[in-house]
Amino acid sequence: MRLRVLSSYAVRAIGLILFIYILMNIDFRQMVSVALSLDLTVLLVLVSIVAIIVILKGIRWQVLGREMGLSFSTKEAVDALCVSQVTGLVLPGALGDLIRVPYLTSRGNPTDMATLSILVDAVVSAIIPYAVAVLALLRIFDIPITASSLLIPILWIVGLYGVYRLLKATLWSWFMRARLQKLMTSGIRGNILFDLPTTLRALGLKTVLLAVLLAAGSWFLYTMQGYVLALAMGLNITWEYLAISLSVSIMLTAIPVSIVGLGIREGALLFLFSLIGIEAVTVVAFSLTLLVTSLTPSIVGIISWMRDPFLDVETHPMEVSLGVSPPPNFEHA
């Protein structure tokens, strides 16, 4: 048991170790100087863009949740996203988003559908940046897009679908279900991950397209946030190349080997920006400034948590885990 815990911490430390290594190989004082040289007006513009991004994400999640029978407002969705940023400061990858489950269940929503809404939201939000990132990698490594090159990803997709069907028919019932139920000890069905494709189809094309459009808007604004920062720092970079670079970093930081993507984001941007001759000191200053401004909603999350500690043992004893049983009088949508 102790070895398992140590292993989980070791995995989380990968990004941090890489981050420390990067800092040790640049002029730290110069990096801080570059970051602090930004005008206050620029920072206010960046924070304003972040606020709009969070609102768009909240609207997207609420649109999906409404179609899944969940009851929460756009304001509550934005509030939950801000709280999830706080937990994201201590949990690797995108695992901090799971705090949205007890947030919803404490408001009378069923755990399984709350969890499923987060999974669907994550899938929708990943479509644009992941597609851009894959195309970017093909371009960077000069891989020609031909019929034969397209055959490889098609075979991978078919193979993964085969594994998916095999797991669903065999191992899931006695292994995966047990592990998921250990993570979420009440109110959740063991086959929830396999409900994801069915749920996406049940949402309807109109809802999915609206959610994808909102996700595209969030991605575009995030790229604009980076572009405004790049211009303020005097980086010689085009909007298109920045969009590609940020998409690749989004894809890599989703891997749960770092806290808030530290080290992983910097490593990805150092590689991509070095291809166009941008100095390492400037790249790290850019990355950290982008991160800090993107984390400003966590301030709202901390305030919200203090006002409504929905995981408090005394006030909400059933919510001390990430899984919460819905109230007895709640009717499943």
Identify the band that residue 46 occupies on the pLDDT scale cut at 50, 70 and 90.
Answer: very high
Total structural domains in the chain? 1
**What are the CA-CA distances from residue 161 to residues 155, 194, 200 (Å)?**
10, 12, 16
329 in a domain, yes or no?
Answer: no
pLDDT tens, residue by residue, 218-236: 999 999 999 999 999 999 9
Q: Are 289 and 232 in contact (CB under 8 A)?
A: no
Average predicted confidence (pLDDT) for the chain:
79
CB under 8 Å to 126, separation ≥6 — which residues?
251, 254
Task: Report the candidate in 78, 53, 84 with the shortest Cα–Cα distance to residue 63.
Answer: 78
Residue 330 within a domain: no
pLDDT of residue 208: 86
Arithmetic mean of pLDDT, 201-213:
85
Is 105:188 a contact under the CB 8 Å cutoff? no
Which residues have C-beta within 8 Å of that of residue 124, sequence separation ≥ 6?
60, 64, 208, 211, 212, 215
Q: In which domain, by residue range, is 237 found?
A: 2-319
Three-state helix/strand/coil letters over the chain = CHHHHHHHHHHHHHHHHHHHHHHHCCCHHHHHHHHHCCCHHHHHHHHHHHHHHHHHHHHHHHHHHHHCCCCCCHHHHHHHHHHHHHHHCCCECCHHHHHHHHHHHCCCCCHHHHHHHHHHHHHHHHHHHHHHHHHHHHHHCCCCCCHHHHHHHHHHHHHHHHHHHHHHHCHHHCCHHHHHHHHCCCCCCCCHHHHHHHHHHHHCHHHHHHHHHHHHHHHHHHHHHHHHHHHHHCCCCCHHHHHHHHHHHHHHHCCCCCECCCCHHHHHHHHHHHCCCCCHHHHHHHHHHHHHHHCCHHHHHHHHHHHCCCCCCCCCHHHCCCCCCCCCCCCCC
In degrees, to the nearest 5, what angle opens at C-alpha 71 toward C-alphas 65 and 75? 85
In a domain, 327, yes or no: no
Looking at residue 305, its pLDDT comes to 85
Asked if 330 and 108 count as a contact pair (C-beta separation under 8 A), the reply is yes
The residue among 97, 101, 91, 119 whose CA lies nearest residue 8 is 91
- 6 versus 305: the higher-pLDDT residue is 305
Q: What is the largest CA-CA distance in the chain?
A: 62
**52-75, pLDDT tens digit by residue?**
999 999 999 999 999 888 999 999
Regarding pTM above 0.85, the answer is no
Q: What is the pLDDT of residue 193?
A: 52
Most confident of 1-10, 32-41, 304-313: 32-41
Q: Is 69 or 139 the better-scoring residue by pLDDT?
A: 69
Of 293, 322, 31, residue with least CA distance to 187: 322
Check residue 195 and give its pLDDT.
Answer: 58
Residue 56: is it exposed, middle or buried by C-beta count within 10 angstroms (0-12/13-18/19+)? buried
Q: Determine contact, residues 117/330, Cβ cutoff 8 Å.
A: no
- For residue 325, being part of any structural domain is answered with no
pLDDT in tens, 92-127: 656 678 888 888 988 888 888 888 888 888 888 888
Provide the pLDDT confidence category of residue 196 given band limits of 50, 70 and 90. low
**More confident site: 296 or 167:** 296
Cβ–Cβ < 8 Å for 231, 286: no
Is the pLDDT assigned to residue 317 strictly greater than 80?
Answer: no
Residue 328 reports pLDDT greater than 70: no
Q: What is the mean pLDDT of residues 301-311?
A: 80
214 occurs within a structural domain: yes
Q: Would residue 326 count as lying in a domain?
A: no
Looking at the domain assignment, is residue 333 inside a domain? no
Residue 51: the pLDDT is 96
Report the C-alpha gap between 147 and 134 in whole angstroms: 16
Answer whether residue 324 is part of any domain.
no
pLDDT at 144 over 80: no
